[in-house]
Amino acid sequence: MNRQGRLILMTFTEAFSTTLVGRGVFFYTVWALEFSDAANLWLAALYGATYVAAALVSHFPAKVLSEKAVMVLTALVQLICHLVLAWRFEPVILFVAFSVLGAMSGFRWPVVESYISAGQTPKETSRILGRFNLSWAIGVPLGLAVTGPIRALLGTHVFFVPALVNFTSLVLTIPLPTRPSHLPHDHPERPGRLEITKLSALLTSSRWLLLTSYAAAWALSALMPTIFDAMGYKQAAPALAAILDVVRLLTFILLIYWPGWHGRASVLVLSILAMPTGFFMVLFAGGLTAAVLGQVMFGLSCGIVYYAAIYYAMVVSNASVNAGGKHEGLIGLGFVIGPGAGLVGIAMAGVLGSRTGGMLLGIGPLFAVATVAAILALRPLAIRDTPDLGGEQT
């Protein structure tokens, strides 16, 4: 198996196990520890805080120690945390272990993205990032779908599953080069100055939307157990919550085989409209149909902005760890802002006596600010479509 194959396999297995823990934990806490929505949101915010802090400085340990060393160390620490959680699943231990796991993921994923994209032309970058996106996007809904059955079978011993994955990642890391090799800056297929300016505008807009998508998704992840439980779908809730992830996966497939989205501002405008609409449909769903349709819209927008943000970041920065750190840092910041907005919404609901009004006041401003910022970032392009930057894919 070549380097890219090992990294793609590692991405899939880690996305599966991370979902089993990072998303599944909100169901475990409700089922085993009787956590409230507020307790789950605090847990989600803590994970996000350590994640964003680590992601934003991930290029420093990579530079000092090497990218490979970061991969090895983070896998080892994650393995230990998962073994501890399998041993003692208690609130204090959970909060401590989750904060450490957040930091390790923040250090790790920018390095993985650098290894994946390094040395690729813009055309090759889109193709390999497509495989990368598919690998983790497949792992997420699978991890959610089996959360209930695995928990019923193993109880808190479910954490042995991600521990095994961490060990597998260590084995897959051994053959990797100490540092990834990047494309020379004077390579003829590197974008020119004017093209970089255009790509940078699209990057800025997509990053605002990326932050918002993860903030909203992380808040929704902590609230979905209650949303579906109220509809009478307690055991099926994890699988139902995976619908938006399946839609995001299908969106990735579409974008892989349609390179015409490269450089098109209209694709991001679609996300600006679909994201808040889908989110609030799920949050205030009166029945299963509205919740499913909302997840479809939300998942579509999440898929578009994620692919756009990572593609433009890797092309503009030539696959640097620092670019991956900023990308993951925004995701981590979303992990903090989303639960924080949810907590504000819960507090306001208590004051107003209305859950709908409280959540609108708590999370609504997040969408308002991001929408304005994302549109302003596109002004240099005059909100018009630009030619395909990547050419036809094979």
State the Cα–Cα distance between residues 175 and 68, nearest whole angstrom: 10
CATH 1.20.1250.20 matches 3-381: yes
pLDDT in tens, 155-198: 768 888 889 989 999 999 988 888 877 665 555 455 567 777 88
pLDDT in tens, 272-319: 999 999 999 998 888 899 999 999 999 999 999 999 999 898 888 765
Q: The tokens 């521990």 sit on which residue? A: 163
Other beta carbons within 10 Å of 174: 10
Residues in the chain: 394
Q: What does DSSP assign to residue 262?
A: T
Q: What is the mean pLDDT of the chain?
A: 83
Q: What angle do CA 33, 31, 109 make, to 5 degrees?
A: 85
Regarding predicted confidence, which is higher, 310 or 237? 310
Q: Please give the average per-residue pLDDT across 36-42, as a whole number.
A: 83
Q: Which two tokens stand for residue 17?
A: 């196990």
Q: Please give the average per-residue pLDDT across 137-144, as a whole number.
A: 81
- Answer for the pair 169, 10: CB distance below 8 angstroms, yes or no: yes
HSE of 14 in the Cβ direction (CA atoms, 13 Å)?
26
What does the domain layout of the chain look like in residue ranges?
3-381
pTM of the model: 0.78
Q: Please give the average per-residue pLDDT across 198-226, as a whole number.
A: 86
Residue 44 dihedral angles phi and psi, to the nearest 5°: -65, -40
- Tell me what pLDDT residue 383 has: 43
